[in-house]
Structure 1
Amino acid sequence: MSEVRLSAETRTEFGKGGARRTRRAGLVPAVIYGHGADPRHVALPAREFANAIRHGGTNVLLTLDVEGGEQLAIPKSIQRHPIKGHFEHVDLLAVRRGEKVTVDVAIHVVGDIAPGGLLAQENTSISVEAEATHIPTSFEVSIEGLAIGSQITAGDVSLPSGSTLITDPEILLLAINEAPTAEDLEAEVAEAVEELGIVEEPSDAEQAEAAESADGEKPAEDSAE
């Protein structure tokens, strides 16, 4: 597990206006919770925090230098701007070395799927309990050599020493299904169109053909007497 040291500043401005000013200063508003202490409002350097998440994952262990002391913490909730992608706010959980915490760890699928197979990923992470300074960054799950019809549950994931599975071991993570044929896809589309009552507009060629047919069926006009 990665451990990153960051400088944290104590925040004295709160609310939306204070948060905006914090972000304009190149900082991310954050709150540290845990161990029965009052929440601590801090600001983290945006660029360094982004690098920590990029290289260490969302469960990266942070050593925060704040008010002349150190605080170990891990991200518990990260809010990002839906369009621009920058970090808007972070909730941090205070931890101690040797302490066990429950976290969600991502599943990373490796290997090639069997010919004619289609991978269905029902869950992208599992919950485990691990020592705060040894949280796994991700779990590799291989689908190499698995036949169509195979399934992988949470209980099938190999955990490192010191980690305990919290997720129900019967929870389905991955399934290797048979890939649908072109005929199957066309039938599904036709069924969906019928159920939704969608009326498809005729193509230009179909419209032109219909117009020509209508002209050919029009009765001839009486000649002038």
Structure 2
Amino acid sequence: MSTVLSVKKRETGHRSTLTQLRKGGAIPAVIYGYKLDSTPISISAKEFVKSIQRNGQNSVFSLELEGQKVNAVVSEIQQCSLKDEVNHVDFLAINMAEELEADVPIKLMGQSVGVSEGGILMQPNLELKVKVKPAELPESIDVDISTLKIGESLTVKDIRDHIPVEVIDEDDYILVTIIAPASVEEETIDGVEEQE
């Protein structure tokens, strides 16, 4: 399901114009891609933030631009680190019939056996690159970690057959590892042995 957003063409140029736009409750943006030249636009900040909260960043947006509907996905969001506000958005116009590549967040499900036993959970990669039709793009990929013990890892190979979309990342791409905590006793014993 796509989210409809009204957008307006905007003039490019001075920084003061962009500041004025933001003060007026709009976000400067650009749309480019399928059957479209790069076009500077502006969108309502309130509408955009509400739709991201409701449908997630990976949803397909139906942008109404001067009477024309354009299907697009968010390519990049630039945020102000001080105010936690969206400064600029890049939209990629897409063909709904063609597959696209996208990075989807990994959502860990369950409590790992290894963590319950004192292990430390390491998640070196937070996203998976997938290839999918825009309408089937998941908001996140759920990964069950409940059976992971200390010293075990979960890779793309372990989950590839259990998820409904094509994963582009290699089989050895590590999603989660449970490492053993460093034992204080072992370190002390090692220190004593070295002195003898």
Residue type of the partner of 2:4?
R
What RMSD in Å do the two structures reach over aligned CA positions?
A: 1.9
Distance 1:85 1:98, change over 3 A: same
Output the amino acid matched with 1:131. Answer: K
| Structure 1 match to 2:135 | 133
Structure-1 residue corresponding to 2:156: 154
Q: Is the 8 A contact 2:34 2:95 kept in 1?
A: no
Query: How far apart are residue 4 of structure 1 and its match?
Result: 1.0
Offset of residue 146 of structure 1: 1.7
- Cα shift at 1:15: 3.8
CA distance in 2, matches of 1:78, 1:183: 48
The residue that corresponds to 1:198 in the other structure is: none
Task: Rate the CA distance shift 1:184–1:26 in 2: closer, same or farther, 3 A.
Answer: farther
Partner Cα separation in structure 1 for residue 184 and residue 110 of structure 2: 25
Query: Which structure: larger Rg?
Result: 1
Residue ranges of structure 2 left out of the alignment (5+ in a row): 189-196
Q: After the TM superposition, which parts of structure 1 deviate over 4 Å for at least 4 consecutive aligned residues? A: 182-186
Structure showing greater relative contact order (alpha-carbon pairs closer than 8 Å, 6 or more residues apart): 2
Superposed CA deviations along residues 69-91 of structure 1, whole A, max 9, x for unmatched, are: 10110001100000111100011
Indicate how the Cα distance of structure 1 residues 122 and 185 shifts in structure 2: closer, same or farther if over 3 A, else same: farther
Paired amino acid for 2:33? G
Deviation at 1:154, TM superposition (A): 2.0
The Cα of 1:3 is off from its aligned counterpart by 2.2
The range that moved more, 3-12 or 73-82, is 3-12
2:121 corresponds in structure 1 to 119
Alignment deviations for residues 139-177 of structure 1 (CA, whole Å, 9 cap, x no partner) = 1111112211111112323321xx211112211111011
Contact 2:10 2:42 (C-alpha < 8 Å) held by counterparts? yes
Q: Secondary structure at the match of 1:97?
A: coil
Q: Percent identity?
A: 30
Q: Tell me, what secondary structure is at the counterpart of 1:89?
A: strand
The equivalent of 2:146 in structure 1 is: 144
Q: How much has 1:14 moved relative to structure 2?
A: 3.0
- Deviations 1:191-225 (Å, cap 9, x if unpaired)? xxxxxxxxxxxxxxxxxxxxxxxxxxxxxxxxxxx
Matched AA of 2:81? P
Q: Which has the higher strand share?
A: 2
Q: Under a length normalisation based on structure 2, what TM-score does the superposition of the two structures give?
A: 0.86
Question: For residues 79-90 of structure 1, what are the structure 2 equivalents within 5 Å?
Answer: 79-90=78-89
Please tell me whether residue 45 in structure 1 is matched to residue 44 in structure 2: yes
| CA distance, structure 1, for counterparts of residue 93 and residue 128 of structure 2 | 21
Q: How many residues align?
A: 183
Where 1:8 maps in the other structure, the secondary structure is strand
In 2: Cα distance, 1:86 partner to 1:184 partner: 48
* Secondary structure of residue in 1 paired with 2:83: coil
What is residue 170 of structure 2 aligned with on the other side?
A: 168
Partner secondary structure for residue 133 of structure 1: helix
- Match in the other structure for 1:108: 107
Aligned letter for 2:31? I
1:4 aligns with 2:21: no
